[in-house]
């Protein structure tokens, strides 16, 4: 085990990461997004699923419990976290899941077997480069021909500002003897900078942007996100190039609505589509600058499936989904005419003047949370 990986193991054994489910990484969502863009994938209910850096299984255990015919394996470096997960599994009586302690960069991928879905959430940016390569290698070598891999990671440009804060926290806290001391000194640095940042300076803008989120985070998160030796964001385009180098193709984001220039208004969409032609990756890289994106949840497939991916939505495929949404009309009552009206909630809304769209949103909101198969429309 390299020194860097040994340090990470100690860090996670000492301060375990709270392990939660991430719904957008669920095999059912990966299958749905792949279907949306033209790819058929193995049914999630009976799939073989691998999670890399699974911590104590908070993401994988719920899937195993709701898909009893699936087979699942989680791997993590920290023996402490794996033991915590095994105890939970035993208490819950879930039998189709195994957790294994191991260093991803030292695994023999042939011994692991193949998987229909490989999930790696919150790991890629927080490990040294040779472990990042191991993640992409496993996503390629252990993925079935029509499987989907999910890798999440921190991205620029959003992390450029956050790095100022992380660097300042590391400067004061990084070299302290214990994790608790590191955190305490680092938080003191934040308080100090907040007090002294000159008005309208880059520092004060950065603090304004970053602190509200930081103040809400728990200690385990701050310790691993801001005070660990590895937190290496990259640009989306760089990530895709590196995945391509491992024989993987970019499929989509786990939140597909973020992928389309049209969702950012005409002023953004028209010039971007003209400038970027048919390059989906370039369009999204431009969008990352516009929204100052900090985090991505990217779906990858075997490189030879790249030519089957279709970003133009296909009515036939859309008809196979079930739909559920709670997007009430914000004016109170929708008018079934061509007046523009907004539906949804603050921060997440749709404005439309199309009668059929308004009617669909009314029907969905009235039946929420029950989903609607389109065959009933």
Q: Which residues bind ligand SAM (CB under 6 A)?
A: 5, 8, 12, 17, 19, 53-55, 75-78, 81, 103-105, 121-123, 126-127, 131, 224
Strand partners, 120: 151
CB of 224 to ligand SAM, least distance (A): 5
Question: Can you list the pairs that 202-207 forms with residues at least 24 positions away whose Cβ atoms lie under 8 Å?
Answer: 202/164, 203/164, 205/161, 206/161, 206/164, 206/165, 207/165
Taking the least distance from each CB to ligand SAM, the nearer of 121 and 296 is 121
Q: Which residues contact 374 (CB under 8 A, 6 or more apart)?
A: 318, 319, 320, 321, 322, 323
Of 151, 162, 272, residue with least CA distance to 214: 162
Strands 248-253 and 295-302, sheet pairing: antiparallel
Q: How far apart are CA 323 and CA 60, in angstroms?
A: 25
- By C-beta, is 100 or 145 nearer to ligand SAM? 100
Residues 6+ apart with CB under 8 A from 295: 152, 153, 154, 155, 158
**CB nearer ligand SAM, residue 132 or residue 285:** 132
Shortest distance, CB of residue 55 to ligand SAM, whole angstroms? 4
C-beta of 22: minimal distance to ligand SAM in Å? 7
- The CB-of-171 to ligand SAM minimum distance in angstroms stands at 22
Closest approach, Cβ 327 to ligand SAM, in A, equals 29
Nearer to ligand SAM by Cβ, of 179 and 334: the residue is 179
Min CB(124)–ligand SAM separation in Å: 9
The radius of gyration of the chain's CA atoms, rounded to the nearest angstrom, is 22
Min. distance of Cβ 206 from ligand SAM in angstroms? 23
Contact 81, 123 (CB under 8 A): no
- Closer residue to ligand SAM (CB): 230 or 372: 230
Query: Which one, of 41, 36, 40, lies nearest residue 313 by Cα?
Result: 36
What is the b/e burial string over 218-246, where b = at least 16 CB atoms within 10 angstroms of the residue's CB? eeeebbbbbbbebbebbbbbebbebbbeb
By beta-carbon proximity to ligand SAM, the closer residue of 75 and 207 is: 75
Which CB, 234 or 364, lies closer to ligand SAM? 234
């Amino acid at each position: 085990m390299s020194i860097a990986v040994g340090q990470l193991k100690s860090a996670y054994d000492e301060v375990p990461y709270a392990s939660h489910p991430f719904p957008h990484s669920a095999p059912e969502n990966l299958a749905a997004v792949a279907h949306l863009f033209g790819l058929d994938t193995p049914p999630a209910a009976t799939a073989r699923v691998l999670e890399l850096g699974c911590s104590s299984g908070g993401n994988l255990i719920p899937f195993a419990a709701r898909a009893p015919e699936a087979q699942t394996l989680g791997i993590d470096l920290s023996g402490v976290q794996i033991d915590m997960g095994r105890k939970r599994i035993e208490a819950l009586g879930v039998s189709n899941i195994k957790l294994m302690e191991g260093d991803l960069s030292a695994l023999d991928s042939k011994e692991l077997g193949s998987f229909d879905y490989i999930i790696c959430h919150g790991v890629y940016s927080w490990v040294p480069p040779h472990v990042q390569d191991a993640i992409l290698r496993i996503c390629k070598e252990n993925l079935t021909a029509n499987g989907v891999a999910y890798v999440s990671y921190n991205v620029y440009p959003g992390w450029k500002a956050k790095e100022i804060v992380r660097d300042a926290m590391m400067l004061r806290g990084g070299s302290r003897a214990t994790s608790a001391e590191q955190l305490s000194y680092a938080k003191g640095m934040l308080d100090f900078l907040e007090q002294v940042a000159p008005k309208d300076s880059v520092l004060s803008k950065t603090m304004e942007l970053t602190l509200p989120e930081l103040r809400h985070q728990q200690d385990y998160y701050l310790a691993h996100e801001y005070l660990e030796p590895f937190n290496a964001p990259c640009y989306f385009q760089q990530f895709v190039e590196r995945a391509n180098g491992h024989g993987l193709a970019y499929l989509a984001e786990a939140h597909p609505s973020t992928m389309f220039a049209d969702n950012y208004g005409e002023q953004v969409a028209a010039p971007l589509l003209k400038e970027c032609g048919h390059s989906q990756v370039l369009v999204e890289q431009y969008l990352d600058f516009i929204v100052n994106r900090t985090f991505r949840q990217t779906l990858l497939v075997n490189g030879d499936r790249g030519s089957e991916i279709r970003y133009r939505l296909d009515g036939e495929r859309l008809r196979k989904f079930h739909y559920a949404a709670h997007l009430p009309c914000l004016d109170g009552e929708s008018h079934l005419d061509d007046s523009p009206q907004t539906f949804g909630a603050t921060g997440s809304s749709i404005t439309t003047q199309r009668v059929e769209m308004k009617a669909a949103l009314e029907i969905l909101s009235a039946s929420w949370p029950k989903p609607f198969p389109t065959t009933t429309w």
